[in-house]
Structure formats: C-alpha cells, structure tokens
C-alpha cells in the first residue's frame, strides 16, 4: 500500500453534507471568505484526525517486539480493526443514502462569515461519525503499512480540493456558477453515497488481501 491507495477515501470524506455545505457557502452573501474559512476549518480537522490516528496505531505497532512474530500479529489485529470500521462505515453510508435534502440549518449558511464557516468546517468533520471512521481507517492503514506521515498529505489535500469544488466553480464559471452549483449539490445529495460505497468496497478488498497474506 502507498499514498495513492489512500486517495479514494477522500471521496468518502466529503460526500454528502460536507460538500453540500460548501455549495451553500459558495452561493452565499460572502462566498469567497466564507468558503476559505470553511476550507481552513476542514483542513485543521482532517489533518488532526488522520495524524492522531496514525500516531496511535504507529505507537501501538512500535510497542510490540518483533520476536516471535509480534509485528505480524499486531498488523493482523490492525487489519481486523480497519475491516470492522469499513463495514460500519458502509452501513452508515447505506442507511443515510435516502436523506431527504439538506438539513434546515444549512439555510443560515447564506449569511455566514469566515469565522462561522471555519467553525462549521472544523466541527462538521470532527463530529460526523462517517468522517471520524474514515480518518481512523486512513491513519490506521498508513501506520499498519509503515508509511511515513507525509504520505497522509495527498489524502488531506485531495479532501480539501474536493471540498473546494464549489468555490473553484464560482471562480472559474463566474455568472454560470449559479447554474452549476445546484447540480453539484444535487449530486452530493443523491448519488455520492454510491460512489462512497464503491470506494469502501475497494478498501475492504485491499484489507482482505492483507489478511490473507
């Protein structure tokens, strides 16, 4: 496994509410500062989440002596933990697939400033169970395969790039953004769950292969 293998999990991080919130901010009264604040909060949350997970599992693995196959046993335990988390994540995504539109509180994002958007980006990532499980899975997988911390950076950057799609659409499409942003919102509401399930299934297969070795 390398950092490229971790990248698809970024789709799971942003699919749904997180991307919809980014669309609302990009459609609001202060789209650029609010969107940048949101991205800053999300960056802090994602970086913290995957780093803590990576550190914890790296310390757990490093605390086991290699004598008698200790490392192999702890790697197997980590693989089972990751597999269990992926199954739980798949169930959460499936159960939430028919969510009827964005929550009512998102209507307030039209007037959001950068400070509020920063807190939203931070808390929406940290308090979302699916994101928490995804970050733990990514960090644990990287630690299990002895990947250095910087291998987490592409995952973090891709997550932020995906969240920045509404802002980039606003900047690049200009007056046409009004028509494009609702399409992004509708996709996130209706189809993103299926893409997430495909990514999770892919990661389950990879973890299963590690267990069979």
pLDDT in tens, 169-210: 888 876 666 667 777 777 776 777 778 888 889 889 988 888
Rounded Cα distance, 144 and 137, in Å: 10
Every domain of the chain and the residues it spans = 3-212
- How many C-beta atoms lie closer than 10 Å to residue 176's C-beta? 11
pTM: 0.86
Give the model confidence (pLDDT) of 12-29 as tens digits: 998 878 888 888 888 877
User: What would the mean pLDDT of 70-88 be, rounded to a whole number?
Assistant: 85
Contact 166, 35 (CB under 8 A): yes
Each residue's pLDDT tens digit, 32-78: 899 999 999 999 999 999 999 999 999 988 776 565 566 678 888 88
- Checking if the pLDDT of 100 tops 60, the result is no
Give the pLDDT score at 41.
96
Report the pLDDT value the prediction gives residue 136, as an integer from 0 to 100: 95
What is d(CA 130, CA 125) in angstroms, rounded to the nearest whole number? 9
Q: What is the mean pLDDT of the chain?
A: 85
102 confidence band (pLDDT: 50, 70, 90): low
Give the pLDDT score at 202.
87
């Amino acid at each position: 496994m390398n950092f490229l293998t971790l990248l698809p999990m970024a789709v799971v991080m942003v699919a749904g509410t997180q991307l919809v919130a980014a669309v609302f901010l990009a459609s609001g009264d202060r789209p650029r500062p609010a969107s940048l604040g949101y991205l800053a909060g999300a960056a802090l949350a994602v970086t913290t989440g995957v780093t803590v997970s990576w550190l914890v599992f790296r310390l757990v693995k490093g605390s086991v002596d290699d004598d008698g196959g200790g490392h192999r046993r702890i790697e197997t335990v980590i693989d089972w933990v990751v597999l269990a988390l992926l199954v739980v994540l798949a169930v959460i995504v499936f159960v939430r697939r028919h969510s009827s539109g964005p929550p009512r509180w998102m209507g307030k994002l039209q007037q959001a400033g950068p400070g509020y958007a920063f807190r939203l980006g931070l808390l929406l990532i940290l308090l979302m169970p699916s994101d928490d499980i995804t970050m733990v899975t990514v960090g644990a997988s990287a630690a299990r395969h002895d990947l250095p911390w910087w291998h987490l950076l592409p995952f973090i950057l891709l997550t932020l790039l995906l969240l920045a799609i509404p802002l980039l659409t606003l900047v690049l499409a200009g007056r046409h953004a009004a028509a494009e942003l609702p399409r992004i919102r509708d996709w996130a509401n209706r189809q993103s769950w299926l893409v997430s399930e495909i990514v999770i299934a892919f990661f389950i297969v990879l973890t299963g292969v590690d267990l069979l070795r």
